[in-house]
Structure 1
Amino acid sequence: MTPVLRAAGLSAHTADGAVLLDGVDLELAAGAVLAVVGPSGAGKSTLGLALLGEANPGIGLAGSVRAGGTELLGHDPAGLRTARAGRVGHLPQHPGVVLDPVRRTGPVLDELAATAHGRGRAHRAARDTAVASALERAGLGAEPGLLRRFPHQLSGGQQQRMALAQTLVTGPGAVVLDEPTTGLDPVTRGAVLDRLCTLAGSGTALVLLTHDLDAIRRIAAAGPTVEVLELHGGRVVRRGPAGAPAEVTPARGRPAGVGAALLAVRGLTVRTGSGVTLLSDVDLTLERGRCLAVVGPSGAGKTTLGRALAGLVPHSGRVLVDGTEPGRGTVQYVHQDCRSAFLDHRSVLDQVARPAVLLRGSSHADAHTEALALLDRLGLPGETVARRPGGLSGGQLQRASVARALLARPSVLVADEPTSAQDGEHRRLLLDELGHARREDGLALVLVSHDPVTIADADRTLALADGRTTVPPEPVPAV
C-alpha cells in the first residue's frame, strides 16, 4: 500500500551553509502517529515545514517528500497548494500564521471546503457538512457566532482550534501538527489529545512535533500506533516505538529581595469596538521581585489582560507602575506568537540588542555584547542568533523574545506562555534567567501559562474565567 506521507534524504540548509536537517527518512501509513521530539533548535519545525514542501525564507531543501504518491518539493506556491490539497495539512505552532487577520473565519472555511467538495450552489450542502464536521472535530462545534468573528476576536486556544478546523476541512490523509498542545489549559489540552486519537483512529496519519512527552504517552495508551523520532542538530539520533522518555524537572530557588508594591491595577476593563466585554474590573497589585501567575481556561481573557497591562490594547481603569502611568519601556510584553514579533529581514541578534540602544542609550557595540552574553546563557550561541528569524526554531525565538524584553530593563515583564515551545532543559534556563532578574533587578513578573512547572514558583495566582477574576491574588506582605 502507498504510504500517505514519505520523506527520503530530506535535508535543509541556510544560505550560509548551516545544516538544519541532514538526510531524514520517514514513512507513514494511514492512521499512524509519528512523534518528532528533541531539544529546542533540533530541527523539528524545519522538518514539519519540509514535510509540507515548504521552508522558511533563506532555507533550501533537498531530497524528496511525497504525499499520497505526489512529490511536494520543487513547486511554485500555486503548484504546491494543488499538490498538497486533500493530501497533507498543517497545524502550525503559532496559529496566527495561517489565520487571515482581515477575513472572518466562516468564509475562509467555506473557501477551503470548496477545494475538496466543489464550488457553486450544487455543492453547498457538501461544503456545509465539511465545515460543520471540521469544527466539531476541532472542538468548536458548540461555539455560537464563531464563524462571524475575525481571528483577533478569538482567544489563543480558539485560534489554535480554528487553525485545526481549517486543516481538517479539506480531508487530508496526513496532518503535520507543530506543538498542538501549546498554550492550552488542562481541560482543552485533554480534549485536543482525544480528538487527535480519534483522527488517527479514523485513518488520518499524524506527525506531532512536540516537547509534550506526556501527550505522546497518552496518545500511545489510547490505542494508535505511535513511533518516536528524536532529532538532534538536524539528525535522527533515535527512532522506535513510543516509550516513556524522561524530562528534566527544573530546580529553582525562590527569588529573594522583594521590595514595595510596584504594579497596581484597578478596575481594568477591555471592550471591543462593538461593545463586547473581554475583560471586566480586574484588580491586582504586584511587588518588586514577585511573580504573579495568570491562569484560566482558553478564552478566559489571560492574553487580553497581559496586553492591557502592557498598553497594547485600549482599556479603561488604571494601570500604575511606581504610582505613575507607565513610561516607555517600563512594561515589556513577550508575545505568545513570538515568530510574528520578529522582522524577517534582520538578524535575531540585531533585534534582541535593539531595546538596549533605544531605551537605555547603550552603544551598538555594548548592546550586542550584552545581548550575546544573555542569549548564550539561554542556550543561543552567536552563530545561531546571527541568522534571520526564519533560521531559528519556535523555541529558540521564544527565548530570544524573552532576552529582548529583559535587555530593555523593564520594571514589569508580562510573559504570555513564554515556555510553551521549550524542552525541559531550556525551560529551566529560561526560568532561571527570569528568576535572576527578579532577585537582582527587582523585576515584577506577570506569567501567563497553563504549564504547572512554569508557574510552580509563582508567589501568587490570579485565575480568570470569561474575562473576570475567579480567584483574586491575595496580598503579599512586604519584607
Structure 2
Amino acid sequence: MNAVNAVNAVAEIENLRVRVDGRAIVDGVNLRLLPGTVTALVGASGSGKTTTGLALLGEYPAGARVTGDVRVPAEPVGYVPQHPGTVLNPARRVGALLRDIARTRVRHLPRRQRRAAVGERVLEALSLAQVSDAETMLGRYPHQLSGGQQQRVVLAQALLLGARVIVADEPTTGQDALTKRRVVEQLAAVSRQGIAVVLLSHDLDVVRALADEVLVMRDGRVVESAPAERLWRAPRHPWTSRLLASETTATRIEPAPGGGELLRVGPLTARHGRTVVLRTPELVLRAGECLAVVGRSGSGKTTLGRSIAGLHRDHDGEVLLAGVPLPRSLRDRTRDELAAVQYVFQDARAAFDEYRPVLVQVARTAVRLRETAEADALAEALTTLAGLGLDEDLVRRRPGRLSGGELQRAALARALLARPRVLVCDEITSGLDPVTRQGILDTLAGLVRDRGDLCLVLITHDLTTAALATRIAVLEAGGVVEEGPAQRLLAAPRHPLSVRLLKTAARPPARTRV
C-alpha cells in the first residue's frame, strides 16, 4: 500500500474488487476519507461492509483475489472490532498493554522523561476513549472488563498508536441504549481530534447521530453514497428507502387466548462462584406468549436465559416446563428435554464448528434430537434456512465464508429444527440490518402464532425488538425492577431505569460538528 498523496484525504479506496471462490464480495467500491469526519457503511449482512473496512488494514479473506487501489497513512490504521476482547492479550493487565504501546511513541525523549510521558499519554488516550475510571481499569485483565470497557481499551490502543484513521466495526452491537449513547460520544470525541472514523453499522440511529457521509452497500456494491442529511431526507435508491422504512415497522405478538402455562421460572437466585448475579421473582409464560428481557449490560439477562436452558446450573429455584421440573444442567436433561428448550447464542460464529459446512451442522439437530433420517434432516434444514433468507449455495460453505448476520440466521434455523417448546434468543437481532431484523421478527412472531405450543424468551437491548413481546421484564443489577404487559410498559414505564432506557432509545444525540 502507498502513503496517501491526495489533497485533504487521509485515506482512499479506488475501484476495490475482492473475489472469493469466484464470487465478488466487494465489487468496484470507492471511498475517500477526510480528517475529522465520520463515514458510515450500511447495508445487509454480507453486503461487503466489513471486507471494505478491513481493506484499510490490508486484511482480506483467505484465498481472496484483490484488485484496485487502497491508500492509507504511514501511521497504523486503528481497528475496533465487534468483539473487542478477541484482540486483547488475556494474560496481561490493561495498564501493561497500553504502556507498552506508549513507550514506542516516546523513544525520542531523554530516558528520565519517558516514564512520565508514558503515563501522561496513556491517561490522555483513555480520556479521549471516554474512560472515566482509568486508574481502576489499568489494574484489570481484559476478562474482568465488560464488552463496552474492552471496546474503550481497544480504542485507546489505536489512539496511542497515532492512528489517523479508525475503523469501528459494529461498535454498538448488543449494547443497551445508554451504552450506545456512550459509544456515540466516544467516537464523536475521536473525530474532533481530526481522526477519520469509518463506521460499519446496522444501527441506523447511531449512524444518523454520527455520520457525515453514508455509503449504502448491497451485494458488494455501493448503491447510494451521499451526505448523511440528504440521504435521510431524500433517499434515491429503492434499497436505501427499504432500509429506512424498516426502522419504523413494528411486529407484535398478540396474547393468545386460553394458552396453557408452558414455562415457570423461579423465584430464582443465580450465582457466579460466591457472587449473586441474579435474583428474580416468579416468571410465568403461557403458550403463544413472548417475554422480552431488557436491561443494561451486566444486569443478569443472559444468566436468566442460560439458567432456563440448563447452561447455568449454579442457581436456586426451579425451571418448570408444562409443570414438570427440568434438571438444572443440560447434561442431565433427556433428549426430549434438550429439544424442548433451545438457546440461540449472541455470538453465532463461536457456536459453529469452523471445519464443517453450515448445512450439515444445522441438519444435525434434527438427526440428534428428533432421530430424523439424515436425508430428511438435510431437506428440512434447506427449507428452514431458505425461509430465513439463506440459499443452498451459501449454507453449503463453512462458517468462515458467511457473515456474522448470516451465521446468526443459521443458528436460529438450527434451533428451530429441534421443534422446541421454549425458544431462548440472546441478542439475535443485534447484528442485523433493519430489513433482515424485521424478517427475523416476522418469522418469530409467525412461529409463536402458528405453532400454538411455543413460547419465546427474547433477551435484547433493543426496545424496538422488545416491542414484539407480550410481556417485558426490565433487569438492573441482577434484579427485576419492572415487569408487565409490553404495550403498557413501553407506553408508560414506571421505574426510572425503564424511563431512561426508553428516552435514550428514542434517538442518540447527534454529535457536535466543528
Q: TM-score, normalised by structure 2?
A: 0.80
1:293 aligns with 292
The 2-side partners of 1:310 and 1:125 are apart by 51
Structure 2 CA distance for partners of 1:421 and 1:247, relative to 1, 3 Å? farther
User: 1:302-321 residue pairs with structure 2 within 5 A?
Assistant: 302-321=301-320
Amino acid at match of 2:245: E
Counterpart contact for 2:343–2:425, Cα < 8 Å? yes
Number of equivalenced pairs: 453
1:206 aligns with 197
Counterpart contact for 2:8–2:35, Cα < 8 Å? no
User: 2:78 matched to 1:89?
Assistant: yes
1:107 aligns with 96
Residue 437 of structure 1: CA displacement? 2.3
Amino acid at match of 2:365: P
2:166 aligns with 175
Q: Which of residues 35, 38, 45 is equivalent to 1:33? A: 38
1:361 aligns with 371
User: 1:4-153 residue pairs with structure 2 within 5 A?
Assistant: 4-14=10-20, 16-68=21-73, 70=74, 86-101=75-90, 103-117=92-106, 123-142=114-133, 145-153=136-144
Q: Which of residues 343, 351, 361 is equivalent to 1:333? A: 343
Residue 280 of structure 1: CA displacement? 3.3
Counterpart contact for 2:308–2:319, Cα < 8 Å? no
The 2-side partners of 1:333 and 1:346 are apart by 21
Q: Which of residues 422, 434, 449 is equivalent to 2:444? A: 434
Residue 250 of structure 1: CA displacement? 3.2
The 1-side partners of 2:387 and 2:122 are apart by 46
User: 2:373 matched to 1:373?
Assistant: no
Partner-residue secondary structure (3-state), 2:245: coil
Residue 175 of structure 1: CA displacement? 0.8
Residue 282 of structure 1: CA displacement? 5.2
Q: Which of residues 448, 458, 461 is equivalent to 1:447? A: 458
Segment drifting more, 185-194 vs 203-212: 185-194
Residue 198 of structure 1: CA displacement? 1.7
Counterpart contact for 2:164–2:194, Cα < 8 Å? yes
Residue 65 of structure 1: CA displacement? 2.3
The 2-side partners of 1:313 and 1:130 are apart by 42
1:74 aligns with none
Amino acid at match of 2:125: A
Partner-residue secondary structure (3-state), 2:207: helix
Note the alpha carbon deviations across 1:199-252, whole angstroms, 9 max, x for none: 1111110111112222222225xxxxx111111110122112113152313343
Counterpart contact for 2:294–2:472, Cα < 8 Å? yes
Structure 1 vs Structure 2 CA RMSD: 2.8
Residue 52 of structure 1: CA displacement? 1.6
Partner-residue secondary structure (3-state), 1:108: helix
Residue 21 of structure 1: CA displacement? 0.5
2:283 aligns with 284
2:401 aligns with 391
Structure 2 CA distance for partners of 1:320 and 1:45, relative to 1, 3 Å? same
Counterpart contact for 1:250–1:427, Cα < 8 Å? no
Residue 3 of structure 1: CA displacement? 3.1
Counterpart contact for 1:462–1:471, Cα < 8 Å? yes
Counterpart contact for 1:32–1:205, Cα < 8 Å? yes
Structure 2 CA distance for partners of 1:280 and 1:376, relative to 1, 3 Å? same
Residue 285 of structure 1: CA displacement? 2.3
Residue 339 of structure 1: CA displacement? 2.1
**Runs (5+) with no aligned partner, structure 2:** 1-6, 236-243, 328-332, 487-514
1:76 aligns with none
**Runs (5+) with no aligned partner, structure 1:** 71-85, 221-225
Structure 2 CA distance for partners of 1:160 and 1:288, relative to 1, 3 Å? farther
2:504 aligns with none
Note the alpha carbon deviations across 1:147-205, whole angstroms, 9 max, x for none: 44444444444444444344444331111111222222222211211221221111110
1:227 aligns with 213
Counterpart contact for 2:471–2:483, Cα < 8 Å? no
Amino acid at match of 2:96: P
The 1-side partners of 2:434 and 2:304 are apart by 27
Residue 426 of structure 1: CA displacement? 1.0
1:186 aligns with 177
Structure 2 CA distance for partners of 1:277 and 1:320, relative to 1, 3 Å? closer
Counterpart contact for 1:43–1:393, Cα < 8 Å? no
1:223 aligns with none
Counterpart contact for 2:40–2:214, Cα < 8 Å? yes
Structure 2 CA distance for partners of 1:123 and 1:282, relative to 1, 3 Å? farther
Note the alpha carbon deviations across 1:271-304, whole angstroms, 9 max, x for none: 334x333323554222222111111122222223
Partner-residue secondary structure (3-state), 1:21: strand
Residue identity over aligned pairs, in percent, reads 47
Partner-residue secondary structure (3-state), 2:213: strand
Segment drifting more, 145-154 vs 243-252: 145-154
The 1-side partners of 2:92 and 2:265 are apart by 34
Structure 2 CA distance for partners of 1:122 and 1:364, relative to 1, 3 Å? farther
1:420 aligns with 430
Partner-residue secondary structure (3-state), 2:397: coil
The 2-side partners of 1:269 and 1:143 are apart by 32
Partner-residue secondary structure (3-state), 1:53: coil
Structure 2 CA distance for partners of 1:186 and 1:355, relative to 1, 3 Å? same
Counterpart contact for 1:57–1:390, Cα < 8 Å? no
Structure 2 CA distance for partners of 1:468 and 1:202, relative to 1, 3 Å? same
Amino acid at match of 1:462: A
1:238 aligns with 224
Structure 2 CA distance for partners of 1:107 and 1:345, relative to 1, 3 Å? farther
Amino acid at match of 1:107: A
Q: TM-score, normalised by structure 1?
A: 0.86
The 2-side partners of 1:141 and 1:293 are apart by 31
